[in-house]
Amino acid sequence: MAKVIKVGKGATQYKVVIAKNALTKVNLLTPLKTKGKVLIITDSGVPKKYIDEVKLILKNNIKVFVYILPKGEKSKSFDSFIKIQEKLAELKFDRSDSLIGLGGGVVGDITGFCAATFLRGINFIQIPTTLLAQVDSSVGGKTAINIKQGKNLVGSFYNPSLVLISSKFLETLSEKEFKSGIGEVIKYAFIGNKKLYKLIQNNTDEIKSRELKILEEIVEESIKTKARIVTQDEKESGIRAILNFGHTFGHAIEAFNNYKNITHGAAITLGMIIASKVSYLEGHIKIHQLDNIINLIDSLGLNTNYKKYNFRDLKQYIMNDKKVSKGKLNLVLIDKNGKAFKTDSFRLKNIEKSFN
Ligand SMILES: NC(=O)c1ccc[n+]([C@@H]2O[C@H](COP(=O)([O-])OP(=O)(O)OC[C@H]3O[C@@H](n4cnc5c(N)ncnc54)[C@H](O)[C@@H]3O)[C@@H](O)[C@H]2O)c1
Ligand SMILES: [Zn+2]
């Protein structure tokens, strides 16, 4: 049986369906709300067999088109956005037609933004195929493209009608992308999901060898945490901030590296160690909690070498973060009960010290 998690409230509520094994048993037609056409948007790095699998479950009653973007962050651009919109117009898509984003966060973000804007909004479904997209970007309704002044600067909040997940997709993911997704999974454990924390602690080898059963469990627990938080705070005016645990430092590490040679998950993993260290130096957690966090990250085979970076190099990026408001830096820290909270009350000296 598939697992179902509801996200959001009211008319824009949608389901995340975690299918057991393959996708075939899940009925896509109802949420597609269409008798007409579907455009599957994907990228060149997504194995072709997944496109065929989705086509197969759409059966014959729907006209299916496929649009393949070049893989990589560069595809989340105005250029791709316009090309897709023009394609939809050429194919005479109307409000009864739908988009499907089949791929990682890049595909999901641009598909969502195209769906939000074409004809002022058409139906779309997310079929996330990376671990990061399954536990993070496909849930929460954020859609975006990048402009040269910065990542995700243009976008909107726009919910899909369904998020369809299968852990089977994760079998073909590169080690680097798999580890990147694990970075976001452990974030949910660190910001308060104790069940997930234990599940990870007790199954590090099974996770590393990508056993389907454990992957399904950690994906489900991760989504439950994200769903609970974004349902409370759809437009990011409060509690949703705790999802940024480790991100102020992680974003600074990504920017310092010019967004090259380090994945988002790897950067925020180091960011979470630094944020945990600040939490310790500020007296919010005990030393053994800090050690446990670092040990757990290490036992999953993720890089823990945050000392490669120093405060001097990262300072300008840290202070440029979106979380700086009215000149004050806001940080997400954790407390002794393993709960995350946002605060602007800490000593800058302790941030500097946390890099040592
Ligand atoms: N909307 C949100 O809330 C949100 C949250 C987090 C991240 N994001 C965005 O997500 C993007 C990053 O997403 P990502 O990490 O999934 O990267 P990605 O989409 O670039 O995917 C990584 C690589 O994996 C390949 N791939 C995808 N599925 C595969 C599979 N099953 N097997 C083998 N290869 C596969 C892709 O072709 C790509 O080359 C960023 O643009 C980021 O801004 C958005
Ligand atoms: Zn993130």
Residue-wise pLDDT for 136-193, tens only, equals: 999 999 999 999 988 999 999 999 999 999 999 999 999 999 999 999 999 999 999 9
Q: pLDDT band at 24, cuts 50/70/90?
A: low
Q: Which of 29-33, 84-88, 168-172 has the lowest mean pLDDT?
A: 29-33
Q: What is the pLDDT at residue 136? A: 98
Q: 192 in ligand 1 pocket by Cβ < 6 Å? A: no
DSSP H or E run through 343: strand 340-343
342 close to 199: Cβ distance less than 8 angstroms: no
DSSP string, 15-84: EEEEESSSSTTS--HHHHT-SSEEEEEEETTS-HHHHHHHHHHT-SSSEEEEEEEPSSGGGSSHHHHHHH
- The residue with greater pLDDT, 31 or 248, is 248
Residue 56 pLDDT: 87
State if residue 47 touches ligand 1 by the CB under 6 angstroms criterion. Answer: yes
What is the reported pTM?
A: 0.96
So what's the pLDDT on residue 31? 72
pLDDT at 257 over 90: yes
Question: Does residue 288 have an active-site annotation?
Answer: no
Ligand 1 proximity of 330 Cβ (cutoff 6 Å): no
CA-proximal residue: ligand 1, atom 11 (nearest)? 105
Regarding the beta carbon of 173 and ligand 1, being less than 6 Å apart is answered yes
- Is 152's C-beta closer than 6 angstroms to any atom of ligand 1? yes
User: Measured between alpha carbons, how far is 256 from 250 in angstroms, rounded to an integer?
Assistant: 10
Cα-to-centroid distance, 105 and ligand 1 (Å): 4
pLDDT at 321 (0 to 100): 65
Task: Take atom 30 of ligand 1 and give the residue whose Cα is closest.
Answer: 173
pLDDT > 90: percent of the chain? 87
Q: Span 317-342, mean pLDDT? A: 85
| Element (DSSP H or E) covering residue 113 | helix 105-117
> What gap in Å lies between CA 176 and CA 132, rounded to an integer?
11
What integer is the mean pLDDT of 256-285?
97
The neighbour count for residue 233, using CB atoms within 10 Å, is 15
CA distance 110 to 66: 15
Ligand 1 centre distance from Cα of residue 107 (Å): 7
Centre of ligand 2 to C-alpha 242, Å, is: 11
> Which one of the listed residues 76, 187, 224, 251 is annotated catalytic?
251
- For the question of residue 264 being annotated catalytic, the response is yes
**What is the pLDDT at residue 198?**
98
- For residue 239 the two structure tokens come to 């509690």
Quick one: pLDDT band at residue 331, thresholds 50, 70, 90? very high
Q: Across residues 56-79, what is the average pLDDT?
A: 92
Residue 319: the pLDDT is 85
Q: Is the CB of 180 under 6 A from ligand 1?
A: yes
State residue 273's pLDDT score: 98
For residue 23, pLDDT beyond 90: no
Please, what are the domains in the chain?
A: 3-172 (3.40.50.1970), 175-354 (1.20.1090.10)
